[in-house]
Chain A
């Protein structure tokens, strides 16, 4: 009897063994699939799937299992999904996150469980500053940085006064703070509009105020479909030519096809800043942009580029420890080196695990086939670190 039990136990152990040793890398990817903001999520998921093709579905000899979850543009839902990924699926990496408020609501669930948390977009100031964490990495930027670059551009273009508009949530406030950090002129008016699932999309009142304010320029931050709506109304309100438009995270390859479809030429020549562009010249970016256009027939957005980078960053970590996913310290050290091919070219991580990288000025142009896209004009900030890094005790 005793023998039988030990034999059974041994058999059980044998059967269980492969399941216990990590035989695959589990990545939970949280983004917005439903709601109109799902367009962004789709772009990210497409990029992740492209990365999966390009790495043959393997990292460091292990199969990769990808679990995609929808946060519904809603912080409590995002947190629920991260709880599920951590507890039920027991993933090794939690990645994704378009929205700062969703990331802030979800971070505790992932970090308390000792998982790696990688933001493929959102860069709230809290996570760069006093709430930084050894297991959190950003594959994007800190929210303030891109508008800081824009503030510099405004200075260089001799803009003396600006009217600013952004959605009323964590990132919107960071973005405005970013412009204020570097812009030397006067901010004559500020509008924070309703955001979330029932976000305000009609900006008639705000644009009328901007026009009446007598500002030299209008600066906006409206990610996703709100961006297209805003630019359309900007043109309909007759602001084109009267109030030059400067944007961050608003005019991208998600908004541009819509604007081209509606033939809103007003956006041509408008300026925006970004850490990346589809025409940025490095081998990884060429491979990514060409691959993405071939597979999906459109330009990738910066969301896509960052998601693609996320996958290669995870791959570099898994390879550094030869697939031993229990070696968290080894993986953390590997990621910290930023030693992977990135679409933005070579960069390094700061003490708070946010990239120290270049920011470029981009202009909207038509490419050789007449498709509207952006072209990098010049480098605005070189090897730029976010302003919160000093508050991070790491």
Chain B
């Protein structure tokens, strides 16, 4: 076993996990508190990436691009809540799915009209483009380290907000028993709008972080949103802590699978078969985990306390 490589792959897995957490945090709050299935959460991730790409081009600074794109994505989230989502809270899940699937198509087409089909690259400043030497002479891309750090920072902020503020208390209460919160005279409409906008900003932030690595492109959120749903189901719907732990588990499983599964499979099958089946199997692994969790602990690993 090459421990240097193992460490690097752990970091890569952590980085993917952090991105998934940023997406899943908003999703799990919206799903848990408002009981609203938002498939278009991935579109907000995409819009964040495009806002950031455009603003980076205009201002010639990635950092400024992120700072400006964050409130813009939150504003967009707030508008989506106001115009589309608000009317649907009283409907059932099927209506949510239909409406937000429609939203996905609208956003994808809008991006095609505004930015064209080719996608947008986000150039990074030089100090983010290099590598750092970690302990033991291991080299790791600076930007991926930045992703991990900013993701953990957001997680910490969220923890403080949810566990130690009045707003967090209301959010937790909303996740446990919405009717009771309303009965106690809390303006639940305002709370929902706020949570939706914050969730959108987180999703957008994830998009802004991944775009310099892959690039902003149409439909980029539609693939990852499925994984984000897997994360919140494993973690327990409505639980920030669950989303965090599950995102890390999923990120690590996916990366470790891609890194070491073919070596493992080669022990008992031909090299060629191992190489072909390893990527398929590692793509499947997280869904298998979800199935296991659903079978033995259908409420997820860390479900929010009810009543």
Contacts and interface: CB of A to CB of B under 8 A. Distances in A.
B279 A229 contact: no
Contacts of B141: 204, 233, 236-238
| 5 smallest beta-carbon distances between A and B, as pairs | A198-B223, A238-B131, A204-B12, A201-B214, A212-B5
Given A204-B12, A208-B8, 7 more contacts: A36-B117, A39-B119, A193-B258, A202-B213, A258-B118, A259-B121, A262-B122
A232 interface: yes
A74 interface: no
17 contacts: A36-B219, A36-B220, A42-B117, A168-B280, A202-B210, A205-B12, A206-B258, A208-B12, A228-B121, A228-B215, A229-B214, A232-B121, A236-B131, A236-B143, A236-B213, A237-B141, A262-B122
A39 B121 contact: no
B4 A212 contact: yes
A261 B121 contact: yes
A35 interface: yes
A258 B215 contact: yes
Contact of B217 (A36, A204, A237, A263): A36
B9 interface: yes
Contacts, number: 109
Interface residues of B, number: 44
A209 B121 contact: no
Contacts of B210: 202
Nearest to A38: B117
Interface in B236-277: 255, 258-259, 262, 275-276
Interface string B212-233: 1111011110110000000000
B71 interface: no
B283 to A, nearest CB: 5
Interface in A245-283: 258-259, 261-263
A225 B215 contact: yes
B15 interface: yes
B123 A262 contact: yes
Interface string B106-120: 000000000001110
Interface string A170-182: 0001000000000
Contacts of A42: 117-118
Given A194-B283, A198-B223, A237-B141, A225 B119 contact: yes
Contact of B5 (A168, A191, A208): A208
A350 B213 CA distance: 43
Interface of A: 34-36, 38-39, 42, 168, 173, 190-194, 197-198, 200-202, 204-206, 208-209, 211-212, 225, 228-229, 232-233, 235-238, 258-259, 261-263
B129 interface: yes
B217 A193 contact: no
Contacts of B298: none
A205 B258 contact: yes
Contacts of B122: 262
A198 B130 CA distance: 28
B2 interface: yes
Contacts of A228: 121, 215
B144 interface: yes
B92 interface: no
A190 B275 contact: yes
Given A194-B279, A236-B143, A202 B123 contact: no
Interface string B123-165: 1100001110000000101011000000000000000000000
A192 B279 contact: yes
B144 A193 contact: no
B70 to A, nearest CB: 22
A86 B63 CA distance: 53
B258 to A, nearest CB: 4
Given A36-B218, A39-B117, A235-B129, A202 B275 contact: no
A208 B121 CA distance: 23
B55 interface: no
Interface in B45-101: none
B275 A192 contact: yes
A238 B283 CA distance: 27
A4 to B, nearest CB: 55
B171 interface: no
Interface string B181-224: 00000000000000000000000000000101111011110110
B276 A209 contact: no
A193 B215 contact: no
A36 B283 contact: no
Contacts of B255: 204-205
B147 to A, nearest CB: 10
Nearest to A36: B217
A212 B1 CA distance: 11
Contacts of A229: 213-215
B15 A39 contact: no
B173 interface: no
Nearest to B19: A202
Given A192-B275, A258-B121, A208 B9 contact: yes
Nearest to B276: A192
A239 B131 CA distance: 10
Most buried by B among A168, A193, A202, A237: A202
Contacts of A204: 12, 15-16, 141, 144, 255
A36 B5 contact: no
A232 B213 contact: yes
